Amino acid sequence: MKAIVVYSSKTGRIQQIAQAMAQVLPQGTPCVPVDEMPSDFSNYDCVFMGFWIDENQADPKGQEALKKIANDHVAIFTTMYDDPYSDQASKHLRSAVELLKPGSGVVGTYITWTDKARYMYEPDAGEDLHLDEAQSFAKNTVSRLKGN
């Protein structure tokens, strides 16, 4: 299975989460910021796309990246300070999914909750980004796609 992790990060949280996910994906899985993403995703079995929430939607770079992704298997991940199980969180994810190129399929979504007071600042050294949960999401997504 060939995967790629693409991310838009302002404070470094999404970058850390993206890198943690890439560590548990098949060896050699690229992990790149949106500025370095490929123009064609047809060679990938799965695209993991991460962004941060800005003004109740994907950040501007994240939005532009989402609009360029065409793939049958897209896994979306984000950070937000809203309750990840809230209606608001669902709306954030839905708006991101709707930006994908027509025909793309979403195989999973994952949210890392962050403290509202710290959301726009670089994470503290001891801040729990729940990287183990992000890695589980990535592994489970690939496992489901493989049919395991």
pLDDT tens by residue, 29-49 = 999 999 999 999 999 999 999
Residue 73 vs residue 92, higher pLDDT: 73
Residue 23 vs residue 148, higher pLDDT: 23
Distance, in Å, from the CA atom of 31 to the CA atom of 47, rounded to the nearest integer, reads 10
Topology of domain 3-146 in CATH is Rossmann fold (3.40.50)
User: pLDDT exceeding 90 applies to what percent of the chain?
Assistant: 70
Amino acid residing at 18: A
Residue 103: closest CA among 32, 22, 51, 42: 42
Q: Are strands 57-58 and 31-33 parallel, antiparallel or unpaired?
A: unpaired
Indicate whether 128 pLDDT > 90.
no
Confidence of residue 121 (pLDDT cuts 50, 70, 90): low
pTM of the model: 0.92
Query: What's the whole-number mean pLDDT along residues 97-104?
Result: 96
Query: What's the whole-number mean pLDDT along residues 40-67?
Result: 95
* CA distances from residue 120 to 9, 21, 41 in whole angstroms, order as listed: 11, 22, 30
Indicate whether 118 pLDDT > 70.
no
- Count the neighbouring beta carbons within 10 Å of the beta carbon of residue 38: 14
Tokens of 50: 């991460």
- According to DSSP, residue 34 is labeled G
pLDDT of res. 83:
78
Domain boundaries, the chain: 3-146
Query: What's the whole-number mean pLDDT along residues 6-28?
Result: 96
